[in-house]
Amino acid sequence: MQQFIKKARELLGERGVLHEEADLIVYEQDGTLAIRGRAYAVVFPRTVEEMSKVVELAYIYGIPIVGRGSGTSLSGGANPVKGGVIISTAWMNKILEIDLANEVAVVQAGVINDWINSYLTRMGYQYPIDLGYQYMADPGSQRVSTIGGNIAHNSGGVKCFKYGVTVNQLRGLTIVLPNGEVRRIGGKEFEQPGYDLIGLLTGSEGTLAFIAEAVVRIIPTYETTVTIIAKFDDLSAAGRAVSAVIASGAVPVAMELMDKLAVEAIESGPYAAGLPKDAEAILLIQVEGSPPGAAEESAKVAEVLKKSGAVGVEVVVDPAIAARIWAARKQAFGAMGYVGPNYVVEDGTIPRKKLAEALMIARAAGAKRGLRVANVFHAGDGNLHPLILYDERKPGEREKAIEAGEEILEACVELGGTITGEHGVGYMKRKLLPKMYTKEEIELMKAIKTAFDPKWLMNPGKIFP
């Protein structure tokens, strides 16, 4: 490590290498508050070349390496659970090119998701995994998380029901292999022959190679968006209404569900938006199009919601009010502090038709352990986010919350879903991988890992049980 630090400093300068205890404490956690891990050093390359050289150094000394964008991972993905060196992309933060003719943007891995749209909005364009319309964008962490982290986790968000997830937005990648070699995959063109390496690397959680740069698709923004809020006095009715809207042929951009506890948390904080606190659940839906198209679609959705048991439906056309409502939704996780000191957030998917059933299971998994569960999630694509509240000052509660989360994810698999929709397997869910795959399938994944990373240095302790 001393040799590594000395050489990394020669390469990146004094400020480019942190290794004092006080600095390292800052990197002990990511967004997963239930675990901690200490790295020996954190390094900050600025370019593909610097990243390549510092990764090669770690390879020579056989040091484990963990990629870190902004550390918002909710599965412990960016946590250095086995020590080693953190490669931060915080200084690789440049938008390199906007190419409207090819409808792509070329960005460094450390660019914050939301920056792309802040830049594109004035051109009438958007990066579709983050809509430039006010702050109604995805993923929920878009003002903080990086494109590299989004790619490593194949992140989704409120709008992926219509636009797909991160992998659907990628045309090309520049990657650094664990031995420091640089490879360019894809480019600005639409289709690549041969194996889909972009697909393989997207969602690989920093266990195969580092993402250094990406070519992402950009598209023109629609003229008008309309938000619809529906209030339900029964959580399962709200779950069933989601399926009814989709079955009607409507294609909303976003469909988010929040239950009573989630609304209580939001309305207790600075982002309160006047959401109905007496509702058992609310559905927040956004449609888009030309002005008449959006009006027609929103009227259709409102009608279906009424027929599906909504006790109140409001169509919001004022962009300022809509922006406030979506900002409130975005702050839901942070607002949980108003209803409980700690939480574990889970992330599973289920076939949409099973939404109501899954929500009841999530509540029961908490209740039988004396814990409350709030739900706020991307209902359109059946991506659940139960937030299991606990108090770490009470002995055993943290463990109970983790156990409840695992029980919910196992139920998701039994209902025909998966153990993660967008947060990755990371450290927290590695035990659950065998619930999804056979031994042979996991061996196949390990063989792929070995082909990229023969020394298994990249993000050790993640994905595999």
Ligand X SMILES: Cc1cc2nc3c(=O)[nH]c(=O)nc-3n(C[C@H](O)[C@H](O)[C@H](O)COP(=O)(O)OP(=O)(O)OC[C@H]3O[C@@H](n4cnc5c(N)ncnc54)[C@H](O)[C@@H]3O)c2cc1C
Chain residues in the site for ligand X (CB under 6 A): 30-31, 66-74, 77-78, 89, 109, 138-141, 145-146, 148-150, 152-153, 155-157, 205-206, 210-211, 333, 422-423, 459
CA dist 383 and 347 (Å) reads 7
Which is nearer to ligand X, 145 or 169 (by Cβ)? 145
Q: Which is nearer to ligand X, 150 or 286 (CB)?
A: 150
State which residue, 239 or 421, has the beta carbon closest to ligand X: 421
Q: Are strands 41-43 and 17-18 parallel, antiparallel or unpaired?
A: antiparallel
Q: Nearer Cβ to ligand X, position 67 or 382? A: 67
Region of 274 on the Ramachandran plot (φ > 0 left; ψ -120 to 50 alpha; else beta) = left
**Closer to ligand X by Cβ: residue 129 or 301:** 129
Residue 265 host element (H or E): helix 260-267
Closest separation in Å from C-beta 327 to ligand X: 13
CB of 262 to ligand X, least distance (A): 13
Residue 241: DSSP 8-state: H
Q: Nearer Cβ to ligand X, position 149 or 252?
A: 149
Identify whether the C-beta of residue 362 lies closer than 8 Å to the C-beta of residue 373: yes
User: Nearest distance from residue 416's CB to ligand X, in Å?
Assistant: 21
Q: How far is the CB of 266 from ligand X (least distance, A)?
A: 13
According to DSSP, the residues that pair with 260 across neighbouring strands are none
Angle CA 172–178–181, to nearest 5: 60
Distance, in Å, from the CA atom of 451 to the CA atom of 38, rounded to the nearest integer, reads 28
| DSSP, residue by residue, 387-435 | EEEE-TTSTTHHHHHHHHHHHHHHHHHHTT-BS-SSS--TTTTGGGHHH
Partners of residue 112 on adjacent β-strands: 146
DSSP 351: -
Q: Which is nearer to ligand X, 69 or 84 (CB)?
A: 69
Min dist CB 223 to ligand X, Å, is: 25
CB of residue 463 vs ligand X: minimum separation in angstroms? 9
Return the SS3 of 165.
coil
Shortest Å, Cβ 164 to ligand X: 12
